Amino acid sequence: MSGWIRIKSVFTQRYEGILLILPWIIGFLLFVSFPLCYSLYMSFHSVRITGNGIFTEFVGWKYYSNILFQDGGVFYDQLLPFLRQVLFMIPIIVIFSFMIAIMLNQKFFGRGLFRAIFFLPVIFSSGNVIQRFLSQGRGELGFLEKYSISTALTQYLPGSWSTPIVTVLNSFILILWYSGVQILLFLAGRQTISSSVYEAARIDGANPWEVFWKITLPAMMPFVLLNTVYTVVDLFTFPGNPIIASVNPTQYGPTSALIWVYFIIILLFLGLVFLVLGKASRGTTFTR
């Protein structure tokens, strides 16, 4: 009897998960799947839209070859520096949001107000607002110019690396402003750890540093993975994204090929994240 109850519980949990993602699946099939497949089709065709209809001519891998090997101005001159910049932005956002969530989980006066303050930018920071801040030079760290840090980085690092590093540092405040959702997720994750585990650690004589490395961090690794994936997807739709800015709505074939190359790069980033953090996220958890 107990075995039947266990099997029934497993099936119930599985069906509950399917029901939760069913609206997304229906929305994807109805509104996303056809445009996605059609854009892949156009990336291999020359597309002409006239008053008599849509005419396509198969060109094979021509557009992909142009992007990667022949006319790679957007790919090599704009996209690769942006990818280097993202490599610096991801750990900054994840680490900052993790530490802020740990602090906001403590009991102190005005905790709810501070949580709201850190989440408010998520509500107000639309693409246009962020772009306006960037164009006005807001969010820069003044000490970079004051102490010639930017000049030193430019002198001692190759231009391919110094430029994205300086760009990240110059928009450091705005990068931290992008951490609201991650802080919220880390807060939720931190509250899943049972307080009895910390009480047992204190009884055994563990200091706060040991508690953090032996309990908090291992239990939070699934949320580190979740927030890293969210940050990767969020940054690849950043307002300063060179691929989004270079989309030409009149060149259907080349633009579709460029978008698919970009999509593959995003998948590679996500695959790297799962490869690095996936195993660690399946470690020990201490739930309530």
Whether the predicted pLDDT of 92 surpasses 70:
yes
pLDDT value at residue 249:
72
Average pLDDT score over residue span 136-161: 63
Residues contacting residue 119 through CB under 8 Å, at least 6 positions apart = 180, 183, 184
**Can you tell me whether residue 63 is helix, strand or coil?**
helix
Are 194 and 287 spatial neighbours (Cβ–Cβ below 8 Å)?
yes
Confidence of residue 12 (pLDDT cuts 50, 70, 90): low
What are the residue ranges of helices labelled H in the chain? Answer: 2-27, 33-42, 62-65, 80-104, 111-124, 127-135, 143-146, 149-156, 159-170, 172-177, 180-190, 195-203, 208-211, 217-235, 242-245, 252-281
Average pLDDT score over residue span 173-190: 81
**Can you tell me whether residue 141 is helix, strand or coil?**
coil
Average pLDDT score over residue span 43-57: 84
Mean pLDDT of the chain: 78
Average pLDDT score over residue span 71-93: 77
How much is the pTM? 0.76
Residues contacting residue 261 through CB under 8 Å, at least 6 positions apart = 64, 67, 68, 75
Set out the domains of the chain in order of their start, with CATH numbers.
Answer: 70-281 (1.10.3720.10)
